[in-house]
Amino acid sequence: MTTTTRGHDEPPSVALRTEALEQLLTERGLIDPKVMNGIITQYETTVGPLNGAKVVARAWTDPEYRHRLLEDGTAAIKELGFGGFQGEHIVAVANTPTTHHVVVCTLCSCYPWPVLGLPPSWYKDPAYRARVVREPRTVLSEMGLELDDEVQVVVHDSTSEVRWLVLPERPAGTEHLTEEELVPLVTRDAMVGVAKAAAP
């Protein structure tokens, strides 16, 4: 068994610092652990990619809803009960066999929280924010998404005024699946445009 010790000058891990801060705030009565756990659960399961996956699955199975989503994303998403802070002015764009959309926020980390949850660290990383605008096809390839040369890549820059949601292509072989069965195939990365929806 191997053990690793930190040097005196090495800072503690983020997880360790977070745990210490939570314990200190709890001891002083400033936070309630049950409330904190509820908030964390909400962002992991209720407010997050699962919501967006439900939006996408509905658009895949309901042509009229798909039309409304692409016409007015904010209103269509609100139909399913999702909205609020960071959910204002959402515009949905659909990937097709010839056009692939990908989202970035070059100046900050604007992100539609109600449908995608908290932004991943790579989305906020300066390298992603700078490079995906200049060389999107290369960045997508590095993230595991290979696109044919004839596919046009369109980069959308999210701002505090407009946040983008990518409607990924429905995977082949899913025609027999119900809306509920399609939901697990939709990932956060597919709705940002750095991946495709999962195959069944």
pLDDT at residue 191 above 70? yes
Is residue 101 domain-shared with residue 153, that is, in the same domain? Answer: yes
Residue 84: predicted pLDDT: 66
Judge whether 85 lies within some domain: yes
Give me the sign of the Cα torsion angle 11, 110, 49, 36.
Answer: positive
Domain containing 105 equals 47-192
Pair (18, 30) in one structural domain = yes
Give tens-digit pLDDT for 55-72.
999 999 999 999 999 999
Q: What's the pLDDT tens digit per position in 93-124? A: 999 999 999 999 988 768 887 888 888 889 98
pLDDT confidence bin for 20, thresholds 50/70/90: confident
**Quick one: which of 135, 137, 132 has its CA closest to 164?**
132
Q: What is the mean pLDDT of the chain?
A: 86
The reply to whether 25 and 62 lie within a common domain is no
Same domain (yes/no): 23, 99: no
DSSP 45: I
Give the C-alpha separation, 28 to 16, whole Å.
19
**DSSP percent split of the chain into helix, strand, coil, nearest 5:** 45, 10, 40
Position 198 in a domain: no
Number of domains in the chain: 2
Q: Which residues are catalytic?
A: 105, 108-110
Q: What is the pLDDT of residue 47?
A: 57
Which residue has tokens 């109600």? Answer: 114
- Both 92 and 145 in one domain: the answer is yes
Give the position of tokens 């970035």: 104
